[in-house]
Amino acid sequence: MQPVLDVKKLTMDFGGLRALEGIDLQVNRGEIVALIGPNGAGKTTFFNCITGIYEPSGGDMIINPPDKPAKRINKLKPNTVTESGLARTFQNIRLFQKMTVLENVMVARHCRTRSGILGAIFRGTKTCAEEQEMVDFSYRMLEKVGLEGYVNDLAQELPYGAQRRLEIARAMATEPFLLLLDEPAAGMNPRETRELDALITRIRDEENLSILLIEHDMKLVMSISQRIYVLDYGKMIARGTPAEVAADPNVVKAYLGETFDA
């Protein structure tokens, strides 16, 4: 079977700085894959490239949605990438702070719904039905991440851990086949991290999707991911199962050089 995400020789330059160099990475159907590496290794940049936020300087990115033909996503705009089934969260939380929790998720239904300005003004039955569908769907997503008690609160009023989970719910509302999580456990306490561990696995099973995850918390990474890629200074220095990666001398060296890293 083809991988759902197939990245080949991805390179990204910022002026003189080469943030990514010839990165190859695959995610297979139903897998949880982790991307790790010291701070500044280029992990977030990798996400930004595949989600169309940055335009990579070279390489190929191909997706294989389960029910649609394969597609190159090289020069697509971020919204088109999301529409084709990739959704992400952000390392430095980027919620719509002045909107309610439910609305944050409803915004993500935008690309799966159609009603326009006239529909909004005249509120025909079709628009109303769609609006109802949006509310219901979003509510279900919030239930999944355990935020159904906060629907009407503003996103900025949520505690930190809840904001991270809201990011996940929002990404899921776009109905992705591949979910990209950028340091979902950052800033969480150990108990929240354990719950997150269960949540990620449950989402993968219930929603039938694949997950690519950037994370610093090694316990979390080791326990949930099937495969791990290790990035250092923009280069892929190791790949394999958790056990293989943990034993790789390159990885140990990269991490020892970065003792301040969490």
Ligand X SMILES: Nc1ncnc2c1ncn2[C@@H]1O[C@H](COP(=O)(O)OP(=O)(O)O)[C@@H](O)[C@H]1O
- 8 A C-beta contact, residue 84 and residue 65: yes
* Shortest distance (Å) from residue 224 CB to another protein: 23
Stretch that binds ligand X, among 41-49, 98-106, 128-136, 244-252 (CB under 6 A): 41-49
Binding-site ranges for another protein (CB under 8 A): 14-15, 44, 48, 51, 53-54, 77-79, 82-83, 87-88, 90, 94-100, 102-103, 106-113, 115-117, 119-121, 123, 127-128, 130-132, 134-136, 139-140, 143, 148, 151-152, 154, 170-171, 174
Q: Figure out which of the listed residues 26, 44, 104, 225 binds Mg ion, where binding follows CB under 5 A.
A: 44
- 8 A C-beta contact, residue 180 and residue 212: yes
* Shortest distance (Å) from residue 12 CB to ligand X: 8
Q: Figure out which of the listed residues 91, 100, 113, 201 binds Mg ion, where binding follows CB under 5 A.
A: 91
Helices 190-207 and 125-144: crossing angle in degrees, nearest 10, is 130
* Shortest distance (Å) from residue 42 CB to another protein: 13
Reduced 3-state DSSP string for 77-115: CHHHHHHCCEEECCCCCCCCCCCEHHHHHHHHCHHHCCC
- 8 A C-beta contact, residue 155 and residue 97: yes
- E strand or H helix at 245: helix 242-247
Rounded to the nearest 10°, the torsion over CA 17, 21, 27, 33 is -60
Q: ∠25-27-30 over CA atoms, to 5°?
A: 170
Nearer to ligand X, 43 or 164 (CB): 43
* Shortest distance (Å) from residue 85 CB to another protein: 10
Nearer to ligand X, 150 or 229 (CB): 229
Return residues touching ligand X (CB under 6 A).
Answer: 14, 17, 19, 37, 39-45
